């Protein structure tokens, strides 16, 4: 796990050496902390719990790499096609709004699920479904106004201005 | 196989991705993980103090602040981690997967980093919802994984340092504005409908802002109006203070409601039992103190009752004593609580009998509970039974 590979940075002698030393120190410290954590786990978790943890970690990675990224890539491709008639700025506003909406919805979705299984009535008392609906209304409204405003301003004006800036 | 992974990689290629993008996201994520690690260690230290632990009691909202920051920063890290992983996704598809022993080790360490980070953020979030669907104990797992994650972060920085240095600043000359149609430093021309690196970063920033804004109101009162998606809302619950463990949960209603309830204070051979009337006859003090839960929510309230240091003096014990406090709860991890001398001596640490001007609600620990400055809520023992001077 030691840093290897000579790099461009290392060729500039003095600075290169400092970087090299920093990498070795960081790498060694990092490996030591990882070891401390990994050795600590079995002192408090039994074999079935460790196995459960391993399974949960594997599922988390599979869900992320196998579902979340591919789905968002496909969605992004769709947006590229949809947005190609728009100015880059307003297409970006729509993409950004969708990103925000989806992440907030996932978090609120987990919250709603937790609410449905919670035994304690003193937590999770909000009407989260209604809140989510309101969130989307405000988000869509803001995004629409912004995108519309950008589309309305003269063609290419903003871009040319930006280009001449230092 | 290589052809297949190359084809897949092409499918996932996006001109928005670049080393510079990854470095910027990595900075944000590294900072948030570090904040979580440090505030988390502080929380751990307060609950399982090593011999050298320091116990700050001023400002009284210290733990409210650190744990509020912990959970809020942890939530902010969710979109940041997703964005960071998205920015390096094509790496996953590179073929061959392992080129050398060093390369294999590096990839293994990355796999551990990603898996533990994804798990830490998800279970951390769900834990604050008081939902525990996993087959391992949250707190212990969260604690040890924190070391693994922060260690992985250091190792990862060590491995990538030359790239990080190279891309720390935007390279001059090719710097491009959000909507500039010129070549960005990734070298990729902007296609219609795609977004630039800066637009992507701005969107990640807005997303992070949105999840923070709509949840942080559980920890920071000035954000309360925007609290849409936090599991707790300030000002709710009996006497306008949220409750974590109700009297019914703790199965103490009968014991706590008993007419002949007394609080027993003991030191060596001295044993004094005080009824509620006797406690009320002692000098009463009032303090504004927050109750700050390990789950990040908090609530400031007015507490009134007897100073614990007066009870220590009452049984003739030295003021610098530490205490063991027991609840009426028949069982539970927090039935007994040890109180270091710092808190026992502090004049704001109360055996509270009143909350916000009323007799303590049963769910808040009637007839008497502990409230000390700067401690996690789980250590503010409710339904007191005994106070033992150690
Ligand atoms: C890289 C990210 C994180 C790190 C390094 C980290 C680290 C820690 C550490 C070291 C503790 C102390 C555990 C103990 O008392 O033994 C802790 C506690 C806690 N963390 Fe995190 N944490 C992270 C993310 C999160 C997130 C995302 C959340 C929730 C949104 C969260 C929620 C909590 C809670 C609720 C506790 C209190 C546990 C208890 O005392 O019962 N953490 N964290």
Residue A162 included in any domain? no
CB B160 within 8 A of CB A27: no
Q: What's the mean per-residue pLDDT of chain A? A: 85
Residue A38 included in any domain? yes
Q: What's the domain range around A30?
A: 1-44
Decide if pLDDT at A157 tops 80: no
Nearest CA, atom 14, ligand 1: B44
pLDDT at A10: 46
Q: Classify residue B380 by its DSSP letter.
A: S
pLDDT at B224: 95
Residue A103 included in any domain? no
Residue A1 included in any domain? yes
Phi-psi region of B296 (alpha: psi -120 to 50; beta: other; left: phi over 0): left
Flag whether residue A75 sits within 8 Å of chain B, measured between CB atoms. Answer: no
Residue A74 included in any domain? no
CB B376 within 8 A of CB B58: no
Q: Which residue has the tokens 């936090």?
A: B230
CB B379 within 8 A of CB B325: no
pLDDT at B268: 93
CB < 8 Å from A in window 86-125 of B: 86, 89, 92, 102, 105-106, 109, 111-112, 114-116, 118-119, 122-123, 125
pLDDT at B96: 84
> How far apart are the CA of A95 and the centre of ligand 1, in A?
32
Can you tell me the distance from the alpha carbon of B223 to that of A64, in angstroms, rounded to the nearest whole number?
Answer: 31
* Helix-strand-coil split of chain A, %, nearest 5: 80, 0, 20
- pLDDT tens figures, A87-103: 888 889 999 999 999 99
Residues whose CB falls within 8 Å of the CB of residue B297, separated by 6 or more in sequence, listed in order: B128, B218, B219, B230, B231, B232, B234, B242
Q: Do the Cβ atoms of B159 and A27 come within 8 Å?
A: yes
- Confidence band of A6 (pLDDT split at 50, 70, 90): low
- Confidence band of A5 (pLDDT split at 50, 70, 90): low
Cis peptide before B367 (omega within 30 of 0): yes
Pick B118's closest partner by Cβ from A37, A64, A81. A64
Residue A64 included in any domain? no
B300's enclosing H/E stretch is strand B298-307
pLDDT at B173: 43
pLDDT at A42: 97
Give all domains of chain B, ordered by start, each with its CATH number.
2-226 (no CATH), 240-389 (3.90.420.10)
Can you tell me the distance from the alpha carbon of B73 to that of B65, in angstroms, rounded to the nearest whole number?
Answer: 12
Percent of chain B with pLDDT over 90: 82
Burial class, A102, CB count within 10 angstroms (exposed 0-12 / middle 13-18 / buried 19+)? middle
The C-alpha angle A135, A138, A144, rounded to 5 degrees, equals 135
Interface pTM, i.e. ipTM: 0.90
Can you tell me the distance from the alpha carbon of B246 to that of B342, in angstroms, rounded to the nearest whole number?
Answer: 28
Percent of chain A with pLDDT over 70: 82
CA-based nearest distance B272→chain A, Å = 35
Q: Which residue has the higher pLDDT, B140 or A80?
A: B140
Domains: count for chain A? 1
Mean pLDDT, rounded, for A5-24: 74
Pure H helices in B57-100: 62-87, 89-92
> How far apart are the CA of B70 and the centre of ligand 1, in A?
7
CB < 8 Å from A in window 151-210 of B: 151-159, 161-162, 165-166, 177-182, 190-196, 199-200, 202-204, 206-207, 210
Mind listing the pLDDT tens digit of every residue in chain B (390 residues)?
777 877 777 777 777 888 999 999 999 999 999 999 999 999 999 999 999 999 999 999 999 999 999 999 999 999 999 999 999 988 888 888 888 999 999 999 999 999 999 999 999 999 999 899 999 999 999 999 999 999 999 999 999 999 999 999 886 544 444 333 334 443 344 566 678 899 999 999 999 999 999 999 999 999 999 999 999 999 998 999 999 899 998 999 999 999 999 999 999 999 999 999 999 999 999 999 999 999 999 999 999 999 999 999 999 999 999 999 999 999 888 899 999 999 999 999 999 999 999 999 999 999 999 999 999 999 999 999 999 999
Flag whether residue A125 sits within 8 Å of chain B, measured between CB atoms. Answer: yes
Is any atom of ligand 1 closer than 6 Å to the C-beta of B44?
yes
Considering the entire predicted model, what is its pTM? Answer: 0.91
Q: For B6, what's the count of Cα atoms within 13 Å in the CB-facing half-sphere?
A: 4
Residue A11 included in any domain? yes
SS3 track for B175-203: CCCCCCCCCCCCCCCCCCCCCCHHHHHHH
């Amino acid at each position: 796990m030691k840093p290897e590979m000579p790099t461009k940075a290392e060729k500039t002698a003095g600075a290169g050496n400092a970087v090299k030393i920093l990498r070795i120190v960081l790498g060694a410290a990092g490996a030591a902390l990882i070891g401390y954590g990994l050795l600590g786990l079995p002192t408090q978790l039994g074999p079935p719990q460790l196995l459960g943890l391993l399974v949960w970690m594997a599922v988390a990675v599979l869900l992320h790499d196998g579902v979340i990224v591919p789905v968002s890539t496909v969605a992004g491709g769709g947006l590229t096609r949809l947005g190609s008639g728009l100015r880059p700025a307003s297409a970006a506003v729509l993409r950004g709004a969708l990103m925000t909406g989806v992440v907030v919805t996932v978090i609120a979705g987990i919250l709603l699920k937790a609410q449905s299984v919670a035994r304690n009535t003193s937590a999770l008392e909000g009407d989260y479904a209604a809140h989510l609906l309101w969130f989307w209304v405000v988000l869509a409204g803001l995004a629409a106004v912004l995108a519309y405003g950008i589309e309305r301003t003269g063609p290419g004006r903003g871009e040319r201005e930006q280009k001449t800036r230092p | 196989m290589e052809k297949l992974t190359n084809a897949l990689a092409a499918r996932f290629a996006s001109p928005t991705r670049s080393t510079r993008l990854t470095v910027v996201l990595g900075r944000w994520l590294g900072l948030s993980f570090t904040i979580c690690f440090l505030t988390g260690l502080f929380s751990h230290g307060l609950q399982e103090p090593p011999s050298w632990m320091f116990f700050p009691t001023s400002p009284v909202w210290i733990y409210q602040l650190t744990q509020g920051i912990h959970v809020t920063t942890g939530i902010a890290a969710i979109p940041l981690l997703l964005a960071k992983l998205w920015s390096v996704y094509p790496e996953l598809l590179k073929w061959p997967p392992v080129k050398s022993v060093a390369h294999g080790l590096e990839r293994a360490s990355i796999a551990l980093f990603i898996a533990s980070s994804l798990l830490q953020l998800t279970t951390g979030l769900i834990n604050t919802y008081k939902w525990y669907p996993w087959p391992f104990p949250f707190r212990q797992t969260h604690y040890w994984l924190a070391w693994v994650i922060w260690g992985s972060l250091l190792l990862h920085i060590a491995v990538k340092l030359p790239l990080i240095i190279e891309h720390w600043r935007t390279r001059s000359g090719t710097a491009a504005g959000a909507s500039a149609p010129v070549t960005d430093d990734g070298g990729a021309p902007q296609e219609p409908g795609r977004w630039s690196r800066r637009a992507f970063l701005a969107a990640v920033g807005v997303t992070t802002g949105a999840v923070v804004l709509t949840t942080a109101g559980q920890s920071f009162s000035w954000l309360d109006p925007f609290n849409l998606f936090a599991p707790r809302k300030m000002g709710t619950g009996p006497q306008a203070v949220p409750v974590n463990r109700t009297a019914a949960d703790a199965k103490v209603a009968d014991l706590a409601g008993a007419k002949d309830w007394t609080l027993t204070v003991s030191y060596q051979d001295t044993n004094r039992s005080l009824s509620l009337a006797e406690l009320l006859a002692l000098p009463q003090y009032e303090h504004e103190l927050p109750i700050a839960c390990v789950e990040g929510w908090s609530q400031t309230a007015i507490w009134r009752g007897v100073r614990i240091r007066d009870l220590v003096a009452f049984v003739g014990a030295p003021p610098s004593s530490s205490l063991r406090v027991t609840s009426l709860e028949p069982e539970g991890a927090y039935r007994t609580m040890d109180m270091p001398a710092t808190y026992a001596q502090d004049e704001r640490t109360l055996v509270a009998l009143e909350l916000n001007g009323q007799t303590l609600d049963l769910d808040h620990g009637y007839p008497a509970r502990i409230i000390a400055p700067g401690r996690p809520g789980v250590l503010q023992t409710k339904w007191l039974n005994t106070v033992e001077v150690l």
